[in-house]
Amino acid sequence: MQKEINMTEKRKKRYQIQTSCPQCGCSAVNHLSADEIKKNFSDVPNVEMECDECMLKYNTPMEEACPEWDAECHLKE
């Protein structure tokens, strides 16, 4: 029962994905659950982003974009 509660709490936890555009410096912040991160970024080491201002597509290492997620090693589950 305790394990089910812990898994439910992990699913509800939100992680902050934060990046800055290398061209114009605009920052982007997304708040995603563990399930959303797995769905959107799977097991990739880099996060692909697109700047809302200048439309540049760029990559950021997951460990920089969301250190908390990377530290918990959920990418390898």
Q: pLDDT of 2-51, one tens digit each?
A: 555 555 555 578 888 899 999 999 998 888 888 888 888 777 788 888 99
Domain extent listing, the chain: 2-76
pTM, two decimal places: 0.63
Whether the CA torsion 72, 49, 61, 16 is positive or negative: it is negative
Amino acid letter, residue 59: N
pLDDT confidence of residue 77: 45
Partnered with residue 58 across adjacent β-strands are 49
